[in-house]
Amino acid sequence: MDYGESASTPFLPEVTPARGPAVEEPAPAARFFVRLEGDNNPHVRADPGTTKHENTASRTGSALSLGIRDNNLGGIMQEKDIMAEARQFMASRAILSAAELDLFTSLEDGPATAKEISQAKGLDERATDRLLNSMVALGYLDKTRGRYRLNETGAHLSAKHPRSVLPMIRHMIHVWDNWSRLTDTVIQGMNSERESVTEMEGQKQRDFIEAMDTVGRDLADEIAAFYGETSCRRLLDIGGGSGVYTLAFLRHNPAMEGIIFDLPRVVPITEERVRQEKEGERITLFPGDFYKDELPTGCDMALLSAIIHQNGPQQNLELYSKIHRALEPGGVLLIRDHIMDETRTRPKAGVIFALNMLVNTESGDTYTFEEVRNSLEQAGFEQVRDLRTGGDSFERMDCLVEARKPA
């Protein structure tokens, strides 16, 4: 079972002010008034001598309304960008709360008012109205005559949508709680109050496994296609969760069989998922704990998909050694994760994810290729290659490293 992956964080939509023709000579500052929203905004006061474009107030006009000259605009805009980025958590928290309250699924049966929804779910009517309004503003709901309804985007947050992202959003709620302790974690070096994913049970465990399936359902096929057909005949997916990556590799390798190794409480969830696919007939489920148990033998390929980031360096070395013992001679180990450059500042997604591991694990981290290679070679692997450097998107953890056990 992997700890988790990057996922995009919804941001407040940026309002781009309408832009008029260039103003050759700045007019007196009193003639410019900041446009808040829309050409007919009642808060925009028109000076009799101004044009519509001047009232619209481009960024230049907005700055002039404060008496700021052009040579200071860069600094002003930087300050605005910094503040806007710091406020992004507000939109994220609103989406998380709406999902936590399952408001989107509540609207599957048709439009409803805030009063109807709050009464049905036992919520405060005024607060429910404000939260629903925020979902309209962010583009997830539509509102007509006081009634809210799902739109095409918001439908993906309903539990009933065939490609629902709700499990991943629920996992983010758990992650949010641990991220709230980042300051104390930096002071102390560890988040002593974290709830570890390896200790989750019940619905939280299911939410996590389904979240990893959600984030992996497209990327898994892309990774398997990138790696291509292989002569390997038996894949060991260590901490395979829902089995989404095993299924993808088996689809691209019709002669391959798979073993998914994960915690005993995870395996029943895995079985539900893989038995829905025809490739599931070629998959064997093997319960165990890779921190404590030896791995199944007889495989010529092993996969660590989004696993090494949850471990400290010594834990990874021990895991690589177990894989080396379990693999057939000449067998291949494939690692999918964030692989950092030598400065540890790219990819950006990996940098932020290192903080995610700081607050969510005891010693997890993101690693450079040199760090991964050195540990693999110490465990006995050779021919360690950086197959895919991956992108720089928060939605993707798509770097690949390959290593071989000597024949």
> In this predicted model, what pLDDT tens digit does every residue of 79-116 receive, in sequence order?
989 999 999 999 999 999 999 999 999 999 999 999 99
**Crossing angle of helices 267-274 and 244-252, rounded to 10°:** 40
Are 35 and 17 within 8 A, CB to CB? yes
Per-residue pLDDT at 108: 97
pTM (whole model) above 0.85: no
Are 289 and 1 within 8 A, CB to CB? no
Q: What are phi and psi of 393, to 5 degrees?
A: -110, 145
When pLDDT is averaged across residues 348-373 and rounded to a whole number, the result is 96
Give me 383's structure tokens: 């021919």
Per-residue pLDDT at 60: 41
When pLDDT is averaged across residues 158-187 and rounded to a whole number, the result is 95
List, for residues 221-268, the tens digit of each pLDDT value.
999 999 999 999 999 999 999 999 999 999 999 999 999 999 999 999
Calculate ∠ Cα 268-274-279, nearest 5°: 150
List, for residues 30-85, the tens digit of each pLDDT value.
332 333 333 444 333 333 333 333 333 344 444 434 444 556 788 888 998 999 99
Give me 83's structure tokens: 């503040």
When pLDDT is averaged across residues 370-376 and rounded to a whole number, the result is 98
Q: For residue 195, what pLDDT band results from cuts at 50, 70 and 90? A: confident
Residue 138 has pLDDT above 60, yes or no: yes
Residue 400 has pLDDT above 90, yes or no: yes
- CA–CA separation, 137 and 12 (whole Å): 9
Per-residue pLDDT at 1: 53
Per-residue pLDDT at 283: 98
Q: Percent of the chain beyond pLDDT 70? A: 81
Per-residue pLDDT at 197: 66
Q: For residue 393, what pLDDT band results from cuts at 50, 70 and 90? A: low
